Amino acid sequence: MQENESNHAAISFISLLLDGQDAVSVSMIAINTAGRLLYCNRNGQALLKSARVLHLRNGVLSCADAARRKEFAAAIALTIDTGQPAHLLLSDSMQVDQRHSVSLSQFLKPDTRSIAGEHEGVLCLVAPLDHRRTNRTPAHATVWIIGRRSAAGAGAGIG
């Protein structure tokens, strides 16, 4: 019972730190050292439900892109084993031009009576990157601006 209270306290603290992050599209996913879900915010729930970047595979957090699963699992293992944070760029499996920045950080048990350095799990923060930069060249932008000006001029009786 005390361990569940400890998990709840750690997750509540992390959630408080990120309160309001739903508005800026940051997904927070907390997993235990076995990779099983402890907590996720609303954006994290949506991200996992879409299964386009990350998903739960046999109950364990995994990368949706099969080619990157081993790399993602290795990054989690490294974070758990060494305490070093890890950072990855993952693509949306349905929209390759939409990338996500993934940051993995270890968090420790908040119980002061626990052994120093005892791991609670890994906090996974996922933020979508601005995909407009990856699918628009300067030529695309110029055509878009000219098209907008032409449409605005035609609507005003100009042109």
> Do residues 115 and 89 lie in contact, with contact meaning Cβ atoms separated by under 8 Å?
no
CATH class of 2-128: alpha beta
pLDDT of residue 93: 80
Counting DSSP H helices and E strands in the chain, the numbers are 5, 7
Q: What is the pLDDT of residues 12-21, one digit of tens each?
A: 655 655 555 4
Share of the chain above pLDDT 90, in %: 50
Helix H or strand E encompassing 87: strand 86-91
Please tell me whether residue 105 adopts helix, strand or coil conformation.
strand
- In the chain, the amino acid numbered 52 is R
Strands 60-63, 37-40: parallel, antiparallel or unpaired by DSSP? unpaired
Confidence of residue 1 (pLDDT cuts 50, 70, 90): very low
List phi, psi (to 5°) of 28. -115, 125
Q: Which one is predicted more confidently, 23 or 81?
A: 81
pLDDT of residue 7: 56
Q: Which one is predicted more confidently, 5 or 86?
A: 86
104 has pLDDT over 60: yes
Alpha helices in the chain (DSSP H): 2-17, 42-50, 69-82, 132-135, 138-155
> Do residues 39 and 85 lie in contact, with contact meaning Cβ atoms separated by under 8 Å?
no
Residue 98 CA neighbour count, 13 Å, CB half: 9
What does the pLDDT average to over 85-106? Answer: 90
Q: Which residues contact 103 (CB under 8 A, 6 or more apart)?
A: 85, 86, 87, 124, 125, 126
Q: Which residues contact 120 (CB under 8 A, 6 or more apart)?
A: 6, 7, 10, 32, 33, 107, 108, 109, 110
In whole numbers, what is the pLDDT of the chain averaged over residues? 76
